Amino acid sequence: MAATQMLAGFHAVIARLRQAPESILEVYVEAQRRDKRMQALIASVTQAGRPVHPVSTDRLDGLAGGSRHQGVVAVADARKLADDLDEVLDGVQGPALLLILDGVTDPHNLGACLRTADAAGVHAVVAPRDRAVGLNTTVQRVACGAAESVPYLMVTNLARTMRELKDRDLWLVGTDDTATQSIHQTDARRSMAWVMGAEGEGMRRLTRETCDELVTIPMLGSVESLNVSVATAVCLYETVRQRQG
C-alpha cells in the first residue's frame, strides 16, 4: 500500500492541487466555515475530481496531529520530488545552488527555510537523518507550498555527502560567528552550497571542517546571532544578488 501524508492548511493543499492533483485522495474541511476562501478551495478540489468531506473542528484537529490547519486537511499520497542529489544535480542547468541544514529540529524554522529556498531558486535542501525534523504537517504549513517544489533530502552521513558534493565541484560555504570573512566576500556565482548550523548550537565540528570556506553575517547591533531561517534568507539572497548582478 502506498504511503500517505497529511497536508494541513490552505497553502499546502493548494500547492499540491496545482502540482499533483491526482495525488490527493480526499480533503476534509471545517463544516461551519463558508467564507469565500473556503468556497474557492472546495471548488478547486471538486474540479480536480477529489472528494470533499465537511467535518467538525475536533476531527480536523485529530487529522492534523496538533498542527494549525486553518479548517482544511488533505490526505495525499506521499510525494518524493527526487531520490538523491545526483538526480537533482544532473538536471541543473547553470550553477547549482544547494542549502545544507545541519541539525535544524524546529519545524517552523525548517518550513521558513524551505519557503526562502524556493523563492531564491535553491535546487535542493539537504539535512542529516539523525538530527533534523522531517516534512511533517507543521513544516508543510509554514513552508506555504515550498515543500511541494523544493526537494528535501535527508542523508545518512552528512559529512560524506558534503565530500561527494565537493567531488562534483560544488563550493561549500559555512556560516560561523568566528569567521573573519563576510558573506559578501565569497563568490556565490559558482556552483555552491550554503551550510547552516542548528538552532543555538551551530554546525557540528565535522561539518565545519568539511566546508571549503567559513564566512560570517555582518552584525551591527547588539544581538549576537540571527535565527537560522533568517540567516538562511540573508545568505541565499546574497547568492541571488551576485548572480543577478
125-153 pLDDT per residue, tens: 999 998 899 888 889 888 888 888 899 99
Mean per-residue pLDDT, 31-48: 93
How many structural domains comprise the chain? 2
Q: What is the mean pLDDT of the chain?
A: 92
Model pLDDT, residue 222: 81
Same domain, 73 and 90: no
Same domain, 56 and 142: no
Same domain, 111 and 231: yes
Same domain, 157 and 96: yes
Sign of CA dihedral 130, 132, 137, 143: negative
CA distances from 13 to 18, 29, 143, 238 (A): 9, 11, 12, 31
Same domain, 143 and 185: yes
Single out the residue in 22, 57, 77 at which a domain terminates. Answer: 77
Same domain, 50 and 122: no
Same domain, 114 and 202: yes
Same domain, 161 and 63: no
Query: Which band of pLDDT confidence, cut at 50, 70 and 90, is reported for residue 2?
Result: low
Single out the residue in 77, 100, 129 at which a domain terminates. Answer: 77
Rounded CA gap, 90 and 162, in Å? 16
Query: Which band of pLDDT confidence, cut at 50, 70 and 90, is reported for residue 216?
Result: very high
Percent of the chain with pLDDT over 90: 70
Quick check: 73 and 175 in contact, CB under 8 A?
Answer: no
Rounded CA gap, 176 and 90, in Å? 30
Domain boundaries, position 209? 85-244
Rounded CA gap, 12 and 37, in Å? 14
Same domain, 21 and 116: no
Model pLDDT, residue 236: 98
**Global pTM?**
0.80
Same domain, 141 and 158: yes
Strands (E) located in 15-81: 24-30, 52-55, 72-77
